Amino acid sequence: MAIDTSPQAPRQTVVADQEQRAFRALLDAMSRPGTIHELPEARATDGAWGSALVVMQCLLDHEVTFAVEADDRSVHEQILRRTGARSDVLAAAGYVLADAAHALEVIEMASEGYLEEPERSATVVVRVDAIGSGSLRAVLSGPGIETVQSLAIEGLDASALHALIERNALYPTGIDIVLVDPQGRVACLPRSARIEVED
Amino acid sequence: MVSATGVRALIDERGAEFEGYTFGFLDDMAKREIRRTILKAVAIPGHQVPFGSREMPIARGWGTGGLQITLACVGADDTIKVIDQGDDASVNAVNLRRLIAKTTGARETLTTGEATLIQSRHRIPEERMTAAQILILQVPIPEPLRHVERSVASARAMHAEADYARMWLALYEDVVRNGEVTAGAGYPVMVNGRFVMAPSPIPRWDIPKLNQADTLFLFGAGREKRIYAVPPFTNVQPLEFDDYPFEIEAFPNMSCRRCGATDSYLVTSPQADGGTLSVCSDTSYCDDVLAGRKVENQW
Ligand SMILES: [Zn+2]
């Protein structure tokens, strides 16, 4: 039974609407590891960093810290300006954005939290060439997955996933990965996921 | 701080306009923090993640934790349902639903199958929820170790070490004294083999639904400022002993007086004539059975 609601409800601003839709894509992706979801459209001028910036804007404000590890560091300035989040060193940052070339280093260095406060760990956003196609294949199981979930990734080295398996071996401490590609796709590898690498 | 009826007054005073309120009532910073917390909670199933619970226009204890989660998730495309002990029509449920709808433009529904977001106090719907839905449960006391360890810091250390010996001892003493684990509503569960979790005061009847479900479950405790989660397809096991296995409530030879259902959780109330009246706790399910609509209720 549907109920008629007033048409005068407050409207969400364009930015807030995008953040809300980005969050729901992230929530679906984090709840169902390895499944692929669509982010809301990025600004055309953000180019290859567009999807990553959609995610960072959804999650960051001046209450959290971030770091960027990438060859092209122009995105660092954009995050500072748009979110007000504070820049920090890689090992201490709450949110880290990396290109695929720096993924291994970031996964090895980022904060894993503490046994009593495992949530105080880094969320690592990695920009890869493509999600859903590619030669690297992660086979996932665990919470959020009925049997197994296979995820193909283009542009990420297998060594990054092997490092992730090692970093997350002492669950519940560990790091959570958000993969984005320039086509606006997102998939997550939360620390609870068991990962096997095929390449 | 006002009561649930205060929300009614707030809606009346504001009329249909809700002018001066931001979309979804909470400001963007509050939503962002809750969203960050939810994602962490999902990544660590059963672990209680602290958050900066905000003042809401309802008294704490009336579902402020659940409401904040709902408002951080909801978009104008959502269809929302709010239930209070299975009932959409309770004053509390109606007021919460109207607050959410009036500040977001989300559609309201009383029908489990139509909702994209369901906020609930003390029940999981009888109708099997799908992957396209999220259940948000209101939590009064998030700490399952509260009655064996009153110190928050010590309880946190026990979770950190997965040291649940005192929890098991308390359950064992219960069995010795009473012949069973007497915990009724809010029976403690083990999530993903790692964290003991308070499932909120749902009946035992609902506990098996948490295990390997299609649906994401989010738990919000406003007063205690904690959010936690059970992702879909996650192992959730009630704490039990081999020789005293967990059992759900039984309703032998009973049926719903209204719809006749024999396969739903019944609530029984005394009647003026000295007898009792038993009806479905879940009013949406009761309506479906009464109307002859077949809904999947095997979770
Ligand atoms: Zn009934």
- pLDDT one-digit tens code per residue, B201-220: 999 999 999 999 999 999 99
Confidence category of residue A115, pLDDT binned at 50, 70, 90: very high
A185 versus B180: which is more confidently predicted? Answer: A185
- Closest by Cα among B144, B226, B216, B217 to B187: B144
State pLDDT tens for residues B228-281. 999 999 999 999 999 999 999 999 999 999 999 999 999 999 999 998 999 999
Residues in A closer than 8 angstroms to B32, CB to CB, are: 19, 58-61, 63
8 Å CB contact of A3 and B156: no
Q: Quick check: B13 pLDDT over 90?
A: no
The CATH number given to whatever domain includes residue A146 is 3.40.50.11310
Q: Confirm whether A3 is domain-assigned.
A: no
Portion 3-22 of A in contact with B at CB < 8 A: 3, 5-13, 16-17, 19-21
What's the gap in Å between B289 CA and the centre of ligand 1? Answer: 7
Q: Is the pLDDT of residue B284 over 90?
A: yes
Per DSSP, the three-state class of A104 is helix
In a domain, B227, yes or no: yes
Alpha carbon of B110 to ligand 1 centroid (Å): 15
Distance of CA A31 to the CA centre of its chain: 13
CB contact under 8 A, A9 and B101: yes
**Residue B40 to residue A17, Cβ atoms within 8 A:** no
Question: Taking residues A160-189, what's their average pLDDT?
Answer: 98
Question: What spacing in Å lies between the alpha carbon of B282 and ligand 1's midpoint?
Answer: 8
Residue B54: per-residue pLDDT:
82
Q: A199 falls in which pLDDT band (50, 70, 90)?
A: confident
How many separate domains does chain A show?
A: 1
Task: Give the C-alpha distances (Å, rounded to integers) separating A22 from A54, B51, B206.
Answer: 7, 20, 31
Residue A16: which residues within 8 A CB-CB, separation 6 or more?
A: B23, B28, B31
Residues in chain B within 8 Å Cβ distance of A11: 23, 105
Does residue A193 lie within any of the structural domains? Answer: yes
Give the integer Cα–Cα distance in Å for B13 and B6: 10
Q: Is residue A21 included in any domain, yes or no?
A: yes
**Residues in CB range of A78: below 8 A, 6 or more apart:** A46, A49, A53
Chain B neighbors of A144, CB-CB under 8 A? 42, 231-234
A71 touches chain B (CB under 8 A): no
Residue B172 has pLDDT above 90, yes or no: yes
Which contacts (CB < 8 Å, 24+ apart) does range A117-121 have?
A118/A172, A118/A173, A118/A174, A118/A191, A118/B44, A118/B47, A119/B37, A119/B40, A119/B41, A119/B44, A119/B47, A119/B49, A119/B50, A120/A94, A121/A173, A121/A174, A121/A175, A121/A176, A121/A191
- For residue B58, the model assigns a pLDDT of 75
Does pLDDT of A51 surpass 60?
Answer: yes
Residues of B annotated as catalytic are 46, 256, 259, 280, 286
Whether pLDDT at B59 is above 70: no
Residue A83 Cα to ligand 1 midpoint, Å, equals 51
Q: Cβ contacts (< 8 Å) between A30 and chain B: which residues?
A: 39, 42-43
Task: Give the pLDDT of residue B2.
Answer: 37
Q: Which of B134, B233, B287 faces A143 most closely, judged by CB atoms?
A: B233
Q: How many C-alpha atoms does B179 have within 13 Å on its Cβ side?
A: 0
CA B44 → CA A59, B50, B158, B192, distances in Å? Answer: 18, 13, 16, 9
Question: Which residues, numbered 73 to 112 in chain A, qualify as contacts with chain B under a Cβ-Cβ cut-off of 8 Å?
Answer: none
Residue at A13 is within a domain: yes
Residue B253: left if φ>0, alpha if ψ -120 to 50, beta else—which one? left
Per-residue pLDDT at B55: 80
Distance B81 CA to ligand 1 centre (A): 19
User: Is residue B19 a part of any domain in this protein?
Assistant: no
- CA dihedral (A165, A170, A175, A178) in degrees, to 10, reads 40
Cross-chain Cβ contact A144/B233 below 8 Å: yes
Q: Does B208 reside within a domain?
A: yes
Domain that holds residue B38: 28-147+170-235
Identify residues whose C-beta is under 5 A from ligand 1, the ion. B 256, 258-259, 261, 280, 286
Residue B36 has pLDDT above 60, yes or no: yes
Burial class (CB in 10 A: 0-12, 13-18, 19+), B249: exposed
pLDDT band at B56 (very low <50, low <70, confident <90, very high): confident
Q: How far apart, in whole angstroms, are the C-alpha atoms of residue A71 and residue B54?
A: 40
Q: Is residue B76 part of a domain?
A: yes
* A45 touches B: beta carbon within 8 Å: no
Q: Return the pLDDT at B3.
A: 45
Indicate yes or no: CB of B73 within 8 angstroms of CB of A23: yes
- Does the residue B8 lie in any domain? no
The answer to whether the CB atoms of A9 and B111 lie below 8 A apart is no
Calpha distance B284→B65 (Å, rounded): 24
Closest Cα partner for B172 from B159, B161, B182, B158?
B182
Res. B57 pLDDT band, cuts 50 70 90: confident
Contact assignment for B23 to A61 by CB distance below 8 Å: no
The total of structural domains in chain B comes to 1
From the CA of A1, how many Å to the nearest CA of chain B? Answer: 6
The answer to whether A63 contacts B33, with C-beta atoms less than 8 Å apart, is: yes
Buried b (16+ CB within 10 A) or exposed e, B177-188: eeeebebeebbb
Could you tell me if residue A64 is left (phi over 0), alpha (psi between -120 and 50 degrees) or otherwise beta?
Answer: beta
* pLDDT value, residue B288: 96
Q: Among residues B73, B59, B186, B189, which one has the least CA distance to residue B121?
A: B186
Kindly report the CATH number assigned to the domain that includes residue B52. Answer: 3.40.50.11310
B3, part of any domain:
no
Look at residue B263 in the predicted model and tell me its pLDDT: 96
Tell whether pTM > 0.90: yes
Structural domain contains residue B83: yes
Q: Report the percentage of chain A scoring pLDDT > 70.
A: 96
Which of B119, B108, B121, B5 has the alpha carbon at shortest distance from B57? B5
Average pLDDT, chain B: 91
Domain that residue A172 falls in: 8-198
Tell whether B22 is covered by a domain. Answer: no
Q: Is the peptide bond before A172 cis (omega within 30 degrees of 0)?
A: yes
Summarize the confidence of residues A73-81 as an average pLDDT: 94
